[in-house]
Amino acid sequence: MLQQRILNLLAVLGVDVTSRLNTWDHLSVDTTQPLHDWKTGAGFGNASVRYREVPSHICELEPGVKSYSGYVDISEHEHIFFWFFEARNAEPENSPLTAWISGGPGDSAMAELFTEHGPCRVDPDEKTIHYNPFSWNNYSNMLYIDQPVQVGFSYSELVSAYMDGESEEIVELEDGAPCPEYAEICGNFSKPDPSATSNSTAAAAPNFWITLQAFMATFPQYSSHGFHFGSESYGGHYVPVFSQYILDQNDKNIAHARRIDLASILVGNGWFSPRLHLASDYDFAFNSGNPYDLENLDDSVRTKVHDNYYGKGNCLDQLKACEATGSDAVCQAADQFCLENVQDPFIVALERDINDVREMVPSPFPGDFYAEYLQRPEVRQAIGAYQTYIELNPTVGIAFDSTGDDARDLDIIHILGNLLDKGVRVTLYAGDADYECNWLGVEAVADAVGARGFDEAGYTNITTPDQVTHGQVKQSSGFSFVRVFEAGHATGAFQPFLLQTIFARTVAGTDLATGNRQANAYYQSQGPQRSTYREGNATVQDHVWPGTSTYNLTSNTPTLDNFQPSNFQVLKNAEYSYEDHYYHYVLLFFWVFLASDMAFNLSFLGNYTVVGGGAPGNASIFVVVPPSTHRKVVRDWMVIVCAVVTTVVTTGGAIRRTWNRWYGGKGAEVDKPPAA
């Protein structure tokens, strides 16, 4: 499917796809007995819950913020893994709950947890974590779920097996057999049986709903203030279909089932409509649709690809036949023909990354340092993981491929419209350097939904507190499409600040452009009907970067530097800064010194928070004792100084926050270059 095809493309280009995990020895996790220290939850129906509190040093470094991991045991061979994080900046019991799943099909949600919007990131040394200030749990309780069964840490029947580096398939080992030298990784995997997992989007929906029901029954304190749902890539299939299933289950009033208050959905670079996405591939490749000024291929290739899509009996006709017949064989054949003959030629000819056209192949972004981190025995023990971790489970891809699910329309555009009619806010976003599920295709999907007032709305810059224009939005009421500048398929890995911003505003129900207005039935963004800004080729790379490279969020380019404060935004007056927290301590110390009637010459240094470098910065206070003869004079002056400082800090902070809410971050005009 989508992610498996990346491996196939790399092989076509002659790129070595052997994982850096190939030195990992056979893992000795007991697959028959439960790990110790499990707590049990209420569960739902026949589904039970096992969970444990995860130590803070494993990922969430914010003091006092709890996280839990565990399994929803749906049946003997269906065990769904979850990892939950409390909200950071509000009482978790009064915060909404957001569930995130990954795409693929077969991709693990751990990828987005560690490379996009989870509480921590993993350094290139593959063992050190650092604090992620762009985490979505700043604004919501976050629940990451590996689904369907066999994805990530979710498992069916565990066996000793290995990943074959050539076929990229899981191969079961005979009892007592050693790990082959040519294996990519050996360990405990779900038995590679496609019939033991879901084989379509519709088939995966019930277990996802059961997982939510079981989690909410076990943790009701985190589940009472609205539910939000996000994904990316194949999430364009998952999220609409799963969301409709949730609403349908709500309508049934099932005994003992919790009504899930679905408030919003977010999908990044989603695969919604095969017809629209494959047509957009041609536009992106040959009609100046890519904004990075990549070289155009010759007319013969253009003509061939055009015919491969629109010609009689070719891609478009095959997709129509898939929809008309519903045949697994017809849909599977259509999927294979369209991807190989319409999507692939542009990328293969240019030798560029299908998920980020700025990069040559193989691209190191987003980094997979976290995968080795999750193989560490102490980490797996801490989260209670049974299965050896791989980001993409090929068996799930094989199962979905057998039904041609990728080529099916699934009435998704109609479902998106129905969700809006039911009051569910819908945010679609796309990094504009992605080719596989490119922004033109997602924009076409947004247009096709037919949301009221969307055609009349216009593109406007998104205001963020760092004063940089990271993208543009077109929004009508609760329906939004966001074009994200300088970002590939995994959008949050490249523009985490913008993604955190649009997530927070979607959850809050405000306009995505500023966050200042409620996105009610009358709201429309103002600006041009189309986003025409072009980044140019300043960030386009002409050579392959090593796997240890990191991504500089300021220059939007690769770097060989480790994660350093200079690699992130410095927010002095941002609404996401912690500096007010330290101002309060400064005021407290001022008045404590005054009340003790001691004479001091006092000075202090307050460090602004450097976002991305680790835990919030500290404020240091230095105290010097003056001669006692100046005691009264200094005390009198201290009264004045304390009063002035209190007034300035209190009123100044209020003014600053108000200014940021009303005017902060107004970038360049629409279609002008973003601020440097």
* The pLDDT of residue 575: 34
* The pLDDT of residue 632: 53
Q: How confident is the model at residue 639 (pLDDT cuts 50, 70, 90)?
A: low
Whether the CB-CB separation of 210 and 72 falls below 8 Å is answered with yes
* The pLDDT of residue 641: 72
CATH class of 2-274+364-425: alpha beta
Given the residues 140, 489, 531, 577, select the one marked as catalytic.
489
pLDDT for 425-475, tens place per residue? Answer: 999 999 999 999 999 999 999 999 999 999 999 999 998 988 899 999 999
* 33 pLDDT higher than 50: no
Mean pLDDT of the chain: 84
* 596 pLDDT higher than 90: no
* The pLDDT of residue 571: 35
- Of the two residues 359 and 6, the one the predictor is more confident about is 359
Query: How much of the chain exceeds pLDDT 70, in percent?
Result: 78
* 579 pLDDT higher than 60: no
Whether the CB-CB separation of 482 and 429 falls below 8 Å is answered with yes
Mean pLDDT, rounded, for 402-423 = 98
Contacts of 107 by beta carbon, 8 Å cutoff, 6+ apart:
3, 151, 152, 233, 234, 391, 392
Active site residue 233: yes
Whether the CB-CB separation of 427 and 265 falls below 8 Å is answered with yes
**DSSP states of 239-295:** HHHHHHHHHHHHHHT-TTPPP--EEEEEEES----HHHHHHHHHHHHHSS-STT-PP
126: three-class secondary structure by DSSP: coil
* The pLDDT of residue 652: 56
Q: In 10 A of CB 578, how many CB atoms?
A: 17
The alpha carbon dihedral of 540, 542, 544, 545 has a sign of negative
The alpha carbon dihedral of 192, 194, 196, 202 has a sign of positive
Angle at 329 between CA 325 and CA 331, to 5 degrees: 60
* The pLDDT of residue 645: 66
* The pLDDT of residue 31: 41
Domain boundaries, the chain: 2-274+364-425, 579-662
* The pLDDT of residue 299: 85
State both tokens at 433: 């350097």
Cα separation, 66 vs 340, whole angstroms: 46
Q: In 10 A of CB 625, how many CB atoms?
A: 9
pLDDT for 326-342, tens place per residue? Answer: 999 999 999 999 999 99
Given the residues 190, 223, 231, 233, select the one marked as catalytic.
233
* The pLDDT of residue 347: 86
* The pLDDT of residue 190: 97
The alpha carbon dihedral of 55, 60, 62, 67 has a sign of negative
Task: Single out the residue of 383, 665, 346, 263 nearest to residue 501, CA to CA.
Answer: 665
* The pLDDT of residue 663: 37
Residue 297 DSSP class: P
Mean pLDDT, rounded, for 231-255 = 98
* The pLDDT of residue 297: 77
* 400 pLDDT higher than 80: yes
**Least confident range of 103-107, 169-173, 239-243, 297-301:** 297-301
* 176 pLDDT higher than 90: no
Mean pLDDT, rounded, for 354-377 = 94
* 506 pLDDT higher than 80: yes
* The pLDDT of residue 594: 52
Mean pLDDT, rounded, for 97-112 = 98
State both tokens at 165: 């580096």
Whether the CB-CB separation of 1 and 353 falls below 8 Å is answered with no
Mean pLDDT, rounded, for 206-230 = 98
* The pLDDT of residue 642: 62
* The pLDDT of residue 635: 57
Place of tokens 């990328």: 347
512: three-class secondary structure by DSSP: coil
Mean pLDDT, rounded, for 258-285 = 97
Query: How much of the chain exceeds pLDDT 90, in percent?
Result: 71
